Amino acid sequence: MPIPIDTDPSVAELAERTRQLVRDVVIPVETETGGRVHDGPEKVRRLLQDAAREAGLLAPHVGRECGGLGLNTLGQAVVFEEAGYSLLGPLALNIAAPDEGNMHLLEKAATEEQKRRYLAPLAAGDIRSCFAMTEPAPGAGSDPSALTTTATRVPGGWRIDGRKWFISGARGAGFAICMARTSGAPGDRGGATMFLVDTDRLGMTVERDIDTLDEGLFAGHSEIVFDGCVVGDDQVLGEVDRGFEYAQVRLAPARLTHCMRWLGLARRAQDIALERASTREAFGSRLAELGMVQQQLADSEIDMAASRALIRDTARVLDSGARGAQESAIAKTFVAEAVGRVVDRSVQICGALGVSSDVPLSRFLREVRAFRIYDGPSETHRWAIARRAVGRHARHREETAA
């Protein structure tokens, strides 16, 4: 797809270089590995990030003073989509979850010393990180206020106790951003604090790796136990008891960057379907000349165009400094479902080829399905979207009645 004509020329140039890197370097590695990097092969990550570094593309989302290229959210939308054309493109540019969201959070909330210690090596690809918030039931999940992990005051710092699971990238990470309750009780809307925990700290253990549907996220998803893990006061990220507020600083942009990356993969799936439809003959014509196939191709084009418009609109809102909670929730819900439809249609158009390993569509289908669950399931976002709409309507009625 051509880069949008209103794109800043410097961003367009970065996007074009990203496109070339993905096709020349990343896709061959994806083909060799099958896109499966859940077991964390460090040599693959190093190879890809060295190539991106050489091309001047590493960490495009991070501020220049922290070692990145300083793209705003709208610029990220263009470049991240190009990187997402391959399952391993985001890993190559060091814009994959959870590191990308953690870098954004550290830029906003960390002290200068914390940035030097954690953000700089993370942006350079020297270390990885994880974000430890989700817990087994009845703990924090779609409802973060259910947080049960505790951090208790001890001399000189805090003792963290609790269990986390589905912590992406935890195996082999250099540090975790851990959310723990420092006041209140599960169900309270406040009382959480974020802590920077070095993963070699006594009392933090990666207990197991969880076997999941998706296998394309580096190091997969793990279950972590904090058992008497003591950290110093200098390991508090931001202010005590304001962790839920900082989580929103991270989560709204992170939802949107997920959308950007997965839109790139949807484009790849559509390209595979277009190639198949243009060359495969059946019933006396090419598939692309059959009405039912044309409808599927058209519906996918519509889904991708609508997704791109929502992403770019939300990016502009976030770049304005607004919170963008409603816009990001709408974008996340629609794009998560739209990319799933695009990939599913592509599998259907390709028929037996689509469910084989001769093309990567079945792998893509496994990867994108999980997006309707993580970063807030569609149901939770729809509830929040409706609640905000009802509240907005109620306020309008009050104003007009006054």
Q: Give the mean pLDDT of 220-231.
A: 98
Question: Domain check: are 134 and 232 in the same one?
Answer: yes
| Residue 278, C-beta contacts closer than 8 angstroms, at least 6 positions apart | 286, 287, 288
List the one residue out of 165, 103, 102 whose CA is nearest residue 131: 102
Question: Domain check: are 274 and 345 in the same one?
Answer: yes
**Which of the four pLDDT bands, split at 50, 70 and 90, describes residue 272?**
very high
The residue range of the domain holding 42 is 9-96
- Answer yes or no: is 285 within a domain: yes
Q: Which of 190, 210, 241 is the last residue of a domain?
A: 241
- Answer yes or no: is 19 within a domain: yes
Does residue 74 register a pLDDT over 90? yes
Question: Domain check: are 308 and 337 in the same one?
Answer: yes
- Answer yes or no: is 55 within a domain: yes
Contact 18, 95 (CB under 8 A): no
Tens-place pLDDT, residues 37-67? 988 889 999 999 999 999 999 999 999 999 9
- Answer yes or no: is 395 within a domain: yes
Question: Domain check: are 86 and 151 in the same one?
Answer: no
Cα 317 from chain centroid?
19
- Answer yes or no: is 106 within a domain: no
- The residue type found at 34 is G
Question: Domain check: are 73 and 151 in the same one?
Answer: no
pTM of the model as a whole:
0.95
pLDDT at residue 119, rounded to an integer: 98
**Which of the four pLDDT bands, split at 50, 70 and 90, describes residue 239?**
very high
- Answer yes or no: is 116 within a domain: no
- Please state, in angstroms and rounded to a whole number, the distance separating the CA atoms of residues 202 and 116: 23
Does residue 202 register a pLDDT over 70? yes
Question: Domain check: are 305 and 344 in the same one?
Answer: yes
- Answer yes or no: is 378 within a domain: yes
Question: Domain check: are 212 and 335 in the same one?
Answer: no
CATH (domain of 30): 1.10.540.10
Question: Domain check: are 32 and 150 in the same one?
Answer: no
**Which of the four pLDDT bands, split at 50, 70 and 90, describes residue 101?**
very high
**Which of the four pLDDT bands, split at 50, 70 and 90, describes residue 7?**
confident
Q: Which of 96, 121, 147 is the last residue of a domain?
A: 96
| Residue 242, C-beta contacts closer than 8 angstroms, at least 6 positions apart | 192, 193
CATH (domain of 234): 2.40.110.10
List the one residue out of 176, 251, 163, 249 whose CA is nearest residue 208: 163
**Which of the four pLDDT bands, split at 50, 70 and 90, describes residue 26?**
very high
pLDDT at residue 3, rounded to an integer: 75
Question: Domain check: are 286 and 393 in the same one?
Answer: yes
- Answer yes or no: is 234 within a domain: yes
Question: Domain check: are 373 and 325 in the same one?
Answer: yes
| Residue 247, C-beta contacts closer than 8 angstroms, at least 6 positions apart | 133, 144, 179, 192, 194
CATH (domain of 280): 1.20.140.10
Does residue 162 register a pLDDT over 70? yes
Tens-place pLDDT, residues 357-377? 999 999 999 999 999 999 999
Q: Which of 48, 73, 96 is the last residue of a domain?
A: 96
Question: Domain check: are 233 and 255 in the same one?
Answer: no
pLDDT at residue 216, rounded to an integer: 92
The structural domain count of the chain equals 3
% pLDDT > 70, the chain: 99
pLDDT at residue 1, rounded to an integer: 61
Question: Domain check: are 253 and 366 in the same one?
Answer: yes
3 state DSSP class of 162 = strand
